[in-house]
Amino acid sequence: MDPVVAQENRYAAELAQARAADIARQRGNEEQQRMQALSESPAAIQPEAHKISPMQAFLLIGVALVADGLSALFTISIFLIPLYWIVWVFAVLGFFVWLHMLGISWTNAKGMRSIILLGAALGIEFMPFLNVLPAWTAFAIGTVINDRLSEFTDILEGAAKKKKEEEERKKKENKS
């Protein structure tokens, strides 16, 4: 093997190790800063802002009531079933896009609960005879409640973390 190529390979390996060490150090520093901010700042345990404002919640539930009313009306006669499917498609796409535009992320637990509620409503509305149930309204109310109740879970999680940190600090003080 050519000595120049061997030297370049060695430099490349050293560079890769240095990059990995820098990345690990950055992750460690970010984690330390986050934990320090949690322990020092009382604002850190305050809940995030609601994604769904009261007016949007009112509109979301109102649209769901209209969709459920039309669905129930259109399932009365076999001739109106095609209209029911049109309402169903618009409701699915509309609620999906609406939640996405509100900024509800489906990668966190709160957003995942909203998606599960949407899927449950979708499943109920898809089944004959069960589609008369107000599934879209239940979905809309559940999503609004999920958005509002998350502030309490955020506060409780923050308080639990703070209490755990205090207990660990007391243990360290008792040992020394």
**What's the burial of 64, exposed, middle or buried (CB within 10 Å: 0-12/13-18/19+)?**
buried
Q: What is the pLDDT of residues 39-79, one digit of tens each?
A: 555 544 455 677 888 899 999 999 999 999 988 888 888 88
67 contacts 86 by C-beta, under 8 angstroms? no
CA dihedral 76, 82, 87, 89 (to 10 degrees): 140
Q: What is the pLDDT of residues 119-169, one digit of tens each?
A: 899 899 888 778 888 999 999 999 998 888 866 677 777 777 888 888 888
Tokens of 20: 């990995």
User: What mean pLDDT do residues 91-113 have?
Assistant: 85
Length of the chain in terms of residues written: 176
